[in-house]
Amino acid sequence: MSLGQIESKKVLVRFDFNVPMDGNKIVNDFRIKQSLDTIYHLLDKNNKILIASHLGRPKEGVYDKKLSLKPICNYLSELINRKIKFIESCPDKLDFEDYEVAMLENVRFNVGEKSCSDKLSEKISSYVDCFVFDAFGVSHRKECTTYGVSKYLETYSGLNIQKEIQTINKLINENSKPMTIIISGAKVSTKLIVIKKLLLKCDYMILGGGILNTFLKAKGYEIGQSLFEEALINEARSILQTDNASKIVIPTDLMCEKSSVTKNIKLNSLSKEDIIYDIGNESINYIKDIIRKSSSIFWNGPLGYVEKKPYDTGTIELAKAIAEHKCFSIVGGGDTLPIIENLKLQNKYSCLSTGGGSLLTYLEGGSLPILRELNI
């Protein structure tokens, strides 16, 4: 049975509303807006909806007001122009008599959510008739509301995850060459396996952030006071010794800070006091050339310390270059999307994915437990 056949039911829907917040203010609402098609579709079929999501990384069993979903509930209520009942804790029973849409408080406040407790999964399942999963960003997590409830309920895929998976499969199956993969982030440890596997698939790999710094250190370059992972140096070095290492783009210059002064410095000229915060101007131009000759691009994570100008330059220029080239492009990772939206380039990409870690896991062929239940 497809999503379109769910009618006059009580439906649990797992979205990913883990959005950036500034106090009670939503900084970027991309993931919230991506839920609207599924919500409207279910309401049009006379269904009642119970929304589940997490926000941040609270300590289980401890209420943290800063990570409450109440502001998101109020915001979504305005978007869909309907009152949403906010449910502050998991009750023994849930009555849908007087509202169409309800939202559970941050599911990670519940003891047993992250460990996929059968008891909690069964309790949440008892509220509804069926389960719709539309949270690609957490599809790599085996938790109660991302997987556990599927053992007790008929389970269906939401409209957004269907669209995302179809687009990502196009990148994988068509194998459009040349393929460029851009991976950035603070830690190599979270992305080391995917770097190894995606090096086999791509023609060019561009690294940024602490990941780039770790690889530069492994190659023997001076990186000064820059962020890197000492424990992963040997792993990075082993990757650099493989036949595919030539695909990794090593920047020729970098944007650095020393004693609060910003300088564009050649890679071979860094001092022990320099801190790398972005790629340099010469390297940006070289990356643009790579983008222009690429048929497909996958991008995960901003290249530099984008929270502080001018270290967002590399990321902004990369975003513009991909948009202008009009190739097949997928962007994932929450930190990258707000930059693209601020530049008003969101319609220039093939897919802006709600997934970060899940997207990387899917591309490398890793396990996404709930997708096996959804048959997509």
**What are the catalytic residues?**
31, 187, 334, 357
- Report how far residue 140's alpha carbon sits from residue 368's, in angstroms, rounded to the nearest whole number: 5
Looking at the chain, list the stretches that DSSP marks H as alpha helix, in order from N- to C-terminal side.
30-33, 36-44, 70-80, 118-125, 159-174, 192-201, 209-218, 233-240, 281-292, 313-325, 337-342, 357-363, 369-374
- Report how far residue 298's alpha carbon sits from residue 115's, in angstroms, rounded to the nearest whole number: 31
Task: Find the radius of gyration of the CA atoms of the chain.
Answer: 22
DSSP letter string over 51-98? Answer: EE---S-PPTT---GGG-SHHHHHHHHHHHTS-EEEE-S--SS---TT
DSSP, collapsed to helix, strand or coil, labels residue 203 as coil
- Report how far residue 333's alpha carbon sits from residue 183's, in angstroms, rounded to the nearest whole number: 10
DSSP, collapsed to helix, strand or coil, labels residue 137 as helix
* Closest by Cα among 221, 230, 219, 232 to 254: 221
* Closest by Cα among 311, 247, 321, 246 to 279: 311
Sequence-distant (6+) residues with CB within 8 A of 52 are 12, 13, 14, 15, 103, 104, 107, 124, 145
Q: What size, in residues, is the chain?
A: 376
- Report how far residue 21's alpha carbon sits from residue 74's, in angstroms, rounded to the nearest whole number: 14
